[in-house]
Amino acid sequence: MPITVRIPTPLRTLTKGADEVTVEGENIKDLIDNLEANYKGIKERICDSDGQIRRFINFYLNDEDIRFMGDLNTPTKDGDHISIVPAIAGGNYNI
């Protein structure tokens, strides 16, 4: 069984509008490489030129932030759920 990846709205043009896709991979790095193989251009949107996840993109594995698990080396298994969440910034907050 593959891994389900939730795709944020800004990246759905690369997945033909799909809000979820399935891919395989032994870890987050493999998963990103397989996303790129299936959805050209997605890797450059979520990774910098060194292949690291951009600082304003968050990856959650089963609701856990991968930065506290092993980052790109975080292992994945069949049935896992990944959420790609772009950071939200800006605005004005008045109390």
- Alpha-carbon gap, residue 93 to 71, rounded angstroms: 31
pLDDT in tens, 53-79: 999 999 999 999 999 999 999 999 999
User: Residue 35 in contact with residue 84, Cβ under 8 Å?
Assistant: no
pLDDT in tens, 7-53: 999 999 999 999 999 999 999 999 999 999 999 999 999 999 999 99
Residues in the chain: 95
Query: For the chain, how many helices (H) and strands (E)?
Result: 2, 5
Helix (H, G, I), strand (E, B) or coil at 20: strand
CATH fold label, 3-86: Ubiquitin-like (UB roll) (3.10.20)
